[in-house]
Structure 1
Amino acid sequence: MAATRWPPATSPAPPLRRRARVVVRCCEDTLGVPRRRRGAYHGEDDQAQRFPEFIGPGAAYGGAGSYLHRQQPPPPRPRRIVLVRHGESEGNVDEGAYTRVPDPRIGLTPQGWHDAEDCGQWLRRLVSGDGDDWKVYFYVSPYRRTLETLRGLGRAFEAHRIAGVREEPRLREQDFGNFQDREKMRVEKEIRQRYGRFFYRFPNGESAADVYDRITGFRETLRADIDIGRFQPPGERNPDMNVVLVSHGLTLRVFLMRWYKWTVSQFEGLSNLANGGAIVMQTGAGGRYSLLVHHSADQLREFGLTDDMIQDQMWQKAAKPGELNYNFITNGPSFFTHFTDHQHHS
């Protein structure tokens, strides 16, 4: 479906050594659950060298002041992960811009700057109700329009409210190829509609499935950053931290798809965020991130979530990290239609 705008993997060889056991951990299901240290680390000193964020102020690696030796609980999770789409760009109002300017250098229009500043004011109102110590940490796509959007957002915050910024290339826009021929792109987009929006790969570019692969890597980085408290200054445990991803429409939808394990068909039913629009993942009562903490069910339906997806968000709203929603794990009849066929014939 066309995206609509939405606002706010002979004889055996002789054994050499025992293969290390592989432990698979999956995003939100284990986020915030302390990790068991295995043979990959040679003691706590080595782990402290790999993750200096574990070290408290004035403590040597692995010393008495480290989080490892004090056996403190994991750092508090950011209260929110806010996904922000860039403001209106020159390419949004004139597709011919892509024939003259490389996609990464497409900037904001004057309206796009207003979009960014308005979103910044909205974001400040959202997070400032948490208390006196709230802060924001930004991940941003390196494209010009997202960097400019970040600068517009930043005008709403004083320096001490910004915990940090990281430029993250994996949050870049879907690659549509290099300089684009306008007529050829029109034809390619029509072919994509017939082929399937998720799997169609643009010539010399990417499919949404390719974006999914790199977002998987970013999600692992984000999860590790949350687990080790990279957003927290040494010695601090601020529960009112907020993470903001400034990126692009499709990339943000793929991020949500990967985080919540949505299917391809569920992804293809999602709408695009408006320029300067945002969607909020916020911790619920049990500590997991749910879209239903900030947004209403009607808003999520407008964004494209089905009733099954909304029911899962309701579960996410109350569940704890490490728990699994076994009622959502197979998405029910979408895979095993013989269950509904049996009910129908009975």
Structure 2
Amino acid sequence: MVQEIWLVRHGESIGNVAATRSERAGAEVVGIDTRDADTPLSETGAEQAVSLGAHWAQQEPDDLPQVVWCSPYLRARQTAHLALHRASLDLPTVIDERLRDRELGVLDGLTSHGVHARFPQEAARRAHQGKFYYRPPGGESWADVALRLRSVLRDVADSDAARVLVVAHDAVIWLLRYVLEAMDEQQLFDLIARGSVRNTSLTVLTRTDRTWTTTRADDVRHLERTDGKVTEHAGEREDAR
């Protein structure tokens, strides 16, 4: 029975860098050519993933996860591959589309400035409905993502491994905590207001009986120990501030 779930956000991607730069410049579009699923790690992101693997290489194998579940998006797959390779871990890996990042529909590729300039009615609708339930045309709400994560967690729970590693995206990590810790909407966003999910950070949830609790959150000590660059990027382009 699964006793621990390790959640790792992918390393910094070129999309993270472009989105942050465009937001700060007041641009309307992020300005990258790849589709979201094919956006790779930046050089810094690759170094972060290797640092995570180097940290794991110093731990006892019995203390590490025995199986990996990973988003199919390139930045997540690259993070998992680089970290596991550096740690010399050859683990069964499941690539599951239910762990993909939240889909933004018509707002994909836009900064917050672009959403307000090009889709003012959507900006107003989002303000009225709130972040959790707002669904952009052709995209997903946070509630939609939570629904597919409930499905994948049922499959993860069937694993014979005691510890499972999940490599995914910041919204996915927040919503996995939301589901596992049985939060409500207000509790989730109060938590988000106080914290973050930095690139390659580790969050660990531990089960006692039927109750899941977070025992480590947004841990980036593997970067601090190796003088790696700690990066924090808004995960959803239309939410960037």
TM-score by length of 2: 0.72
Query: Counterparts in 2 of 1:258-297, with a 5 A limit?
Result: 258-269=179-190, 270=192, 271-283=195-207, 289-292=212-215, 294=216
CA contact (8 A) 1:137 1:162 kept: no
- Which residue matches 2:13? 89
Separation (CA, whole Å) in 1 of partners of 2:65 and 2:170 = 25
- Name the CA distance, whole Å, in 2 between partners of 1:214 and 1:155: 29
Q: Corresponding residue for 1:139? A: 69
**Structure 2: which amino acid aligns with 1:81?**
I
SS at match of 1:111: helix
Distance 2:5 2:103 in 1: 25
> How far has the Cα of 1:80 moved from its partner?
2.3
5+ residue gaps, structure 1, are: 1-76, 232-240, 296-346
CA distance, structure 2, for counterparts of residue 211 and residue 98 of structure 1: 25
Pair 129,147 (structure 1): closer, same or farther in 2 beyond 3 Å: closer
- Asked whether 1:215 is paired with 2:144, we answer no
Given the alignment, which residue of 40, 60, 66 partners 1:128? 60
What is the distance in 1 between the residues matched to 2:197 and 2:46? 16
Aligned residues: percent identity? 23
1:168 counterpart residue number: 96
- Structure 2 match to 1:117: 50
Contact 1:250 1:272 in 2 (8 A): no
Match of 2:109 in 1: 180
Matched residues in 1 for 2:174 and 2:81: separation? 23
Q: Deviations over 1:122-158 (max 9, x none)?
A: 3444x52756xx5531100000111111112112322
Q: How big is the shift at 1:115?
A: 1.5
Q: Matched residue of 1:84: which SS?
A: strand
In structure 2, the CA distance between the partners of 1:157 and 1:120, relative to structure 1 (3 Å rule), is closer
1:31-83 Cα distance to aligned partner (Å, 9 max, x none): xxxxxxxxxxxxxxxxxxxxxxxxxxxxxxxxxxxxxxxxxxxxxx3442100
- For 1:106, the aligned partner's letter is T
Checking the alignment, whether the CA contact within 8 Å between 2:56 and 2:87 is kept in structure 1 is: no
Give the counterpart of 1:245 among 166, 171, 185: 166
Give the TM-score taking structure 1 as reference length.
Answer: 0.52
What does residue 206 of structure 1 align with? 140
Q: Offset of 1:190 from its aligned partner?
A: 5.1
Q: Against the structure 1 CA distance between its residues 275 and 290, is the aligned structure 2 distance closer, same or farther, given a 3 Å change threshold?
A: same
Q: Number of paired residues?
A: 200
Aligned CA distance change for structure 1 residues 119 and 261 (closer, same or farther; 3 Å): same
Structure 1 vs Structure 2 CA RMSD: 2.8
1:246 partner SS: strand
Structure 1 residues 289 and 215, CA, compared in 2 at 3 Å: closer, same or farther? same
* Higher-helix-fraction structure: 2
Greater relative contact order: 1 or 2 (C-alpha under 8 angstroms, separation 6 or more)?
Answer: 2
The 2-side partners of 1:213 and 1:78 are apart by: 20
The verdict on how the C-alpha distance between 1:124 and 1:193 changes in structure 2, with shifts beyond 3 A counting, is farther
Pairwise CA distance, 1:162: 3.0
Residues 129 and 152 (structure 1), Cα distance of their counterparts in 2 relative to 1, 3 Å cut: closer
